[in-house]
Structure 1
């Protein structure tokens, strides 16, 4: 039931656009047993930023409520199940925000089995993809094993199923599909009865194949690689492709791309307008409309728009070339260790050095954000928000017909219909208007240029434009 074949897609080089076009044809996945994510979150962010994973499965997160402030990753939704009542364990799934997914709750052994299941929306005419992550502690009792087998049996009927996790059956020989112990043989019977294929061939911890990837279609999972580890975990990373497309949500919102703005041209266009002649004889309202229209036309000519995209998490602010170089050295050290060219202590030393520099760079960035909070609160709080536990997702909602609704538009319409239905209609005419006294406000006869420049200079360029569509960054660029 093993075996992997090479995937023909080329990954090296190419532009970001081409990289995204290729990744639309499959789902790029990473799985690992972290043995505590507490000191490995930053390295996971680096790998995610570099390789653009769609799905990330993790076992032994060792998370609890105290970790809520540092588990989020920008560009990804997070589903997690922490172990209750004692330390260790825990499973998590990160799913890129462009995908539509819903959690599948299991009635069988849901509280005792450390597993998570999601249904990822597939493209039209191809059906959905069932994804799971599972952790089986070495001392797990047979009753919990049986509960997981029931979950697996139920979900293996899905059109496409992929399960990743640490199953902890070190005695199984996957070349012959045999095992020495009774519980291991029961597991082999379960995957055989459900016609599942096991795709991992190389050892994932020491000499044992503990971490597995199961699927109900052998050709669904390809290009599987076992290499390196996150931080000092004694389990290795598994990377693989699911040869299916997920339904992708694309944003239609466009924003100004200030990186490509031509502010010199903007100032030139606005500066050559004969304002006094154009505004002469106009009312206040007419003058405002002319000013706004002229400025927005100049803005359109000099500042291109770009789609507000959710495809990628942004590159971490603390990431630099030195860290990328150390990450590369760590990966090369792993390969040399596996080939016997380095000792395990030398590989661990490379791991420690890489982790130390990541922590130092992150700490320096956080100090910079904290000391600069007075000048730019938005950046500080945006960073804090991105690191906190991800917000709860809306839906799925249950329609009157009993069907699950997952589409954003359909859910919005359902919620709107519900709110309309509970509005209280009040009868009666228009209430009497009470006369109020009005104070006369004195206005300055003239507004001086220096006053305007002073106010424009205080604008916060990190804020969004209001209903007048004038961005504070543009107004500030036009001070002189």
Structure 2
């Protein structure tokens, strides 16, 4: 994915279950949204997207009986919906009713839609069952399939079938090609979508408006969690394993139990609150405008709804400007004797700001700038420590860590602190200290005796100011 520089990658029929935790399928530089099939094996979809893209996951577009993951890509003050979808081959014709329901919900959110996935319907053959129902569904929502070449070739069907499709509402902006794949009998379908993405400043704002993965700790019933954790055999390590393998095994077992009791969920984040001049009247006008806009999108042939939407939009815009002007007039009157504050208000009204240095997001740029600051400045003098009695340097001279010492350290964790790179909340380490202390002590003693530290212990979250 890094070599091909792909921004969005959809995987259909993942076969993932709840026993596979998220950190097992993570890819550096990418975020992802997954939907596993429940109740029976197979199926499932997963959608990877570059972490720097202004993307919002849309769990509200989920429809029962449709295996699909939806995300919205922000561009030019608009949203483009992308989805990865999988349709099982044995689905009945009633599947397309649910499919139309999913398309209807997507059309309400945004008229710009692109669907990728394995639909298990051969569009290259007119004799394919349910093909007419599929065409009616996509044409009624203004979608067009772009793939016309075979995407699956098997010994039983050497001419190939076209099952992996690209459905889009903007065919003029999408180009595609089929890439043979050795990992599956399906070929990978690569599409290029030409969108005007926002500038760096707007990208940072969109990221703040995106989603974050959190755990609801209130859903954990701690007696059951402790019992399952005690039966997870955290202290069982292979004698030939390295410290990295020991830590990975411990962390995987712990996270597997945690994901079953407090699974990760996506929560939306808002970039900012309402402006200070907002009130209930303005809020009601905005809600009325959005409601009429949704109604008009569902029935675009209605001129009455479009006229009502335009009037509501003009009323909300005029009210916003009027209340904003009144707010700043009051501020200017209050600070008329404070020139500094008054100029700050005027610059805010006229959108005049000082020239700012854009933050550096590239890791190499940050490291280069940091090294330059360190080398350009005079280094502080090296402090000479007084010579004391010589101490042993061999790791074999360290005393083994006792379980009681680890237990006291775990019980002393501040549960209000943020989690580290291991993504384990401190409150769980504290409440389960008696269970995990023996395995932690064994891991620490193995690290001391072998003279190696797990690579994960050398990681830290660094936020340049």
TM-score, with structure 1 as normaliser: 0.44
The higher-RCO structure (CA 8 Å, 6+ apart) is 1
TM-score, with structure 2 as normaliser: 0.45
